[in-house]
Amino acid sequence: MLTLRKAISLSVLLVLLFATACGGSPASTEAPGAPDYNLEPAATYEPAATEAPVFVEPPSGEQDQSPSLAPTQTSNNEPYDMFFQDYGVNPSIDTEDDNLSTFALDVDSGSYTVMRNYLSDGNLPPADSVRVEEYVNFFEQGYPSPPDHQAFGISIDGAPSPFTETERYQMLRIGLQGYQVDDADRKDASLTFVIDVSGSMDQDNRLGLVKRSLELLVEQLHRDDTVTIVVYGSSARVVLNPTPGSDKREILSAINSLHPEDATNAAAGLHLGYGMAMEAFMPGGINRVILCSDGVANVGNTEADEILNEISRYLNEGITLTTIGFGMDNYNDTLMEQLADNGDGFYAYIDNMDEARRLFIDEITGTLQTIALDAKVQVDFNPAVVARYRLVGFENRAIADDEFRDNEVDAGEIGAGHTVTALYEVKLYPDTYGRIATVNMRWEDPDTHSVTEISKDFDVSQLAFDFRETDPYFQRAVVVAEYAELLKDSYWAEESSIQDVYREAERISEYLYHDDVMGEFVDLVREARRLKD
C-alpha cells in the first residue's frame, strides 16, 4: 500500500529522473527480446485525507527542501554534477505542543561514504548531501545482543551535551539492536544484479569498482544461492541467467565480461531485472534486486513512471530492492536513496574496496537477510520532566504520530545484526525527577507477518553527570552527529566548531584505538577542519 510519505517521495523521483536525463529522445523501456510477464498495471494512488506531519522550521529561517538539481560546487569551485535533496533540519518541539516523536527506522549509510569520497578528493561535501542519521549509523555502537528469543533489544543512555553552552541540554542515545544470524544459518538467496554499463560508468571508480566489489560477494555465496545479472545501457539484456552459487567460475566470468556501452535506460534495466527476479524467485528465501549505478537515468517522464511502477508492483511479491551507488561527478544520490526507500531496501555508497568488504564480507548476512519490515519508533516524552526535544536527523523519515500502530503504514527495513541509533537533544525542567521518555518500537516479521511491539522507559536517574565518563560509543555517536550538523550548516550547531569536534574525536580515539574507522574519522575531521579554515 502506498502511504502519503511514500507518494511524496515518488513525486520527487519523477522530477529527479526527468532532471537527470542526458538529453535526446527517451529510450524505450522495453528491452529487445525481454520476456512478457503479463503484469497488471499498478493501481492509481489516491491521496489519503490526512496530511503529512509538518515541522516548524528552526529560528535560522525557512529551509529549502526542494531537490538540488543544479550541479554542486566543490570547495575549489570545480563543478560536480551531484544531485542531492535538502530535507531541512528538525526543530526543537515543546512537549506541551507534542510529546510524541515518531519516525521510520533507517540503516542507510550512503551519506557518510559520499562525504568521505568528497574529502578524499580535497573538497568539503555539500551541505545538502548530509543526512545526520546516516553518519551516526555508519559506526559500531556496542549495544548488547537482544534478550533470548527476542528479535530486538532497546538500549538507552544519556548525558549532558558537550556542545551547548548557553543552555544545558541532555543528549539521549536510543539504540535498537537486531538479532544476529550466523552465515551458516542465512537463508538461501536469489540475487538479481541490475548493473549500469552506460557510458557514464566508464571509470575505474564506477564499473571497475562494481566488478571488484561483486567478486568479493561471489566468494561469500552459498552453493544453493542463485545469481542473475542484467545490464543496461541503451537497452537491457541478460548477461547471466539464474546460476547456482556453487558455480562461482561462471558467475565471475560473467562479471569480468562487463564493459561500458551507450546511453542509460534504467527503466529497461529494472523492468528486465524484476522480471528475471520473478523467474528465479525462491519461496521462503531471500529475493533481492541489487541496483549498481551512478543514479543517472537517461529517460523522460513516462519512463520515470515505469521505474516507480516497476518497484511498487513487486513489493507484495516479496522482492526487495537494494541500491548501491558508485562514482563521483554526474551522480544522483537522491535517486539512489529514494529508490531503495520505495523498494523496501537500503542504500549504500561504495567509495573504495574497504567499504565493499564491509558490505559484502563483514556484514554480508545483514546486507542480504531482512529480519524486520516496516520498523518504526515512537518516543513518548514525559511533559512533566521534558520541556522540549529535538530528533537529530531522520528528517525524511517522519511518520504521523497516529500512524504508529497502523500496520499499513510503510516504514523501514532492518537486516540481521543491524543496529539503528537515534539521538535526541532534550531540555529538562530544573530539579525534576522521574521518567524522561518511553521508547516504543514496532515491526513486522518478514516470515510470519506477525507484528510485534516492545518498549522501554528511561529515567532521570539513569542520566550520566559527565559526558566524558559515559560509554565511548555514546560519546562517539554524539561527536559524529555534531560533525554532521556542522557540515550541514545546521542552526543547532552554531555554538560549536570543527575544532571542538576534532578535539573530542581525538580524545575518544584513545578509548577506541582498536577501531579502525575511528582513526579514519579523526583523519576526516582533521581534513574538514583544514578545508574550512
CA distance 157 to 471: 9
Strands 286-293, 189-196: pairing kind: parallel
- Which pTM does this prediction carry? 0.85
Mean pLDDT confidence for 291-320: 71
Per-residue pLDDT band for 294 (boundaries 50, 70, 90) equals confident
Cβ contact 20:296 at 8 Å:
yes
- Per residue in 493-512, pLDDT (tens digit) is 999 999 999 999 999 999 99
The pLDDT of residue 449 is above 80: yes
**Which residue from 307, 319, 347, 412 is spatially nearest to 112, judged by alpha carbons?**
347
Average pLDDT over residues 430-451: 96
What is the tens place of the pLDDT at every residue in 208-263?
Answer: 999 999 999 999 999 999 999 999 988 899 999 999 999 999 999 999 999 988 77
Instruction: Give the lowest-confidence range in 262-271, 317-326, 395-404.
Output: 262-271
Q: How far apart are the first and last CA of the chain?
A: 49
Per-residue HEC secondary structure of 341-395 comes to HHCCCCEEECCCHHHHHHHHHHCHHHHHCEEEEEEEEEEEECCCCEEEEEEECCH
All structural domains of the chain: 4-46+188-370 (3.40.50.410)
Residue positions counted in the chain: 533
Closest CA relative to residue 394, chosen from 418, 382, 411, 380: 411
CA dihedral 467, 471, 474, 479 (to 10 degrees): 50
Residue 308's pLDDT band (boundaries 50, 70, 90)?
low
The set of cell numbers assigned to 196 is 549500469
**Mode of pairing for the β-strands spanning 152-160 and 100-104:** unpaired
- Tell me 306's DSSP state: H
Distance CA 64, CA 106 (A): 23
Percentage of the chain exceeding pLDDT 70: 82
Greatest Cα pair distance in the chain = 72
What is the per-residue pLDDT for 265? 80
State the average pLDDT over residues 420-428.
98
What whole-number distance in Å separates Cα of residue 130 and Cα of residue 118?
Answer: 12
pLDDT at 7: 47
Q: Give the pLDDT of residue 298.
A: 58
